[in-house]
Amino acid sequence: MSKPILSELEYNADDVASAILLKADLSIANDDLGVTDVSSSYTLQSGWANEVNALIAYRFMGFIFLNINVKHAGGSPGDSESIYTIDDDDLDPATNQSLPTVGYGRDLAYCIVIHTDGNIKIVVPDNPASDADFYVNANGWYRI
């Protein structure tokens, strides 16, 4: 019977998987994968402020992975109000992309849409408690 393509040490090891892992090169870094931080290409629009953190955006293999966490001072924003604009046309989505949202203190919105023209807008925001500020968070990805 023929042996699988393993060295003598790996083939005769009690734990073949551990023997292979000991010899594997697992030193992969973000640079090797092509993950790029493109957060600085997004501009926050007037009336909005970053909440817990500023927008986070990573580019990887033709996709953008995005974290948005913002507040709108003075209550609910207007429907289709722009939250961010994308400054680099190469980062605009191939098609309009909607992201689900999470609010705070009963704040809610139907979704956030990333438009092919580079505008990121909130859709049907609601502040039923009429709080002084409106908070929304969205996480997602889109194809560029």
The predicted pLDDT at position 87 comes to 97
Class of domain 31-143: mainly beta
DSSP structure string for 15-56: SHHHHHHHH------HHHHT-EE-GGGEEEPTTEEE-SS--E
- pLDDT higher than 60, residue 6: no
The predicted pLDDT at position 111 comes to 95
The predicted pLDDT at position 39 comes to 97
- pLDDT higher than 90, residue 142: yes
- pLDDT higher than 60, residue 10: no
The predicted pLDDT at position 90 comes to 96
- Average pLDDT over every residue of 96-111: 91
Tokens of 37: 């931080």
Of all residues in the chain, what percent carry a pLDDT higher than 70? 79
Summarised one tens digit per residue, pLDDT across range 54-101 is 999 999 999 999 999 999 988 889 999 999 999 999 999 999 999 999
**φ, ψ (nearest 5 deg) of residue 5:** -80, 80
What is the rounded distance in angstroms from the CA atom of residue 113 to the CA atom of residue 118?
Answer: 10
- Average pLDDT over every residue of 27-37: 73
Domain boundaries, the chain: 31-143
